[in-house]
Amino acid sequence: MAEFFNGGPPMNSNDPGGHKANHDVNAQKYHTEGPPGLWRQISDLVIAVAVIAFFILVIMWIF
């Protein structure tokens, strides 16, 4: 628990090979998805912004 409150630099990973493997898997995923993955992320962001805007409009309409 003391590590949570320690303001020092982030701790190094105990498994640098695991970090590299995770990076390689993510890089391969991004290379295979390509632009469709980007458009999916953009559309998800637009939907999220629209939902938040809808809630704000409903709250403003109520008050």
Rounded mean pLDDT of 15-39?
78
Instruction: Say if 26 falls within a structural domain.
Output: no
Sign (positive/negative) of CA torsion 23, 28, 31, 36? negative
pTM of the model: 0.48
Range of the domain at 49: 37-63
Stronger pLDDT, 2 or 15, i.e. the higher one? 15
Measured between alpha carbons, how far is 41 from 34 in angstroms, rounded to an integer? 11
pLDDT value at 46 more than 70: yes
Measured between alpha carbons, how far is 12 from 1 in angstroms, rounded to an integer? 17
What are the backbone dihedrals phi and psi of residue 7, each rounded to the nearest 5 degrees, phi first?
-90, 15
Number of folded domains that form the chain: 1
pLDDT value at 26 more than 50: yes
Longest dimension (CA), the chain: 55
Stronger pLDDT, 17 or 51, i.e. the higher one? 51
pLDDT value at 5 more than 70: no
Instruction: Say if 20 falls within a structural domain.
Output: no
Measured between alpha carbons, how far is 34 from 15 in angstroms, rounded to an integer? 29
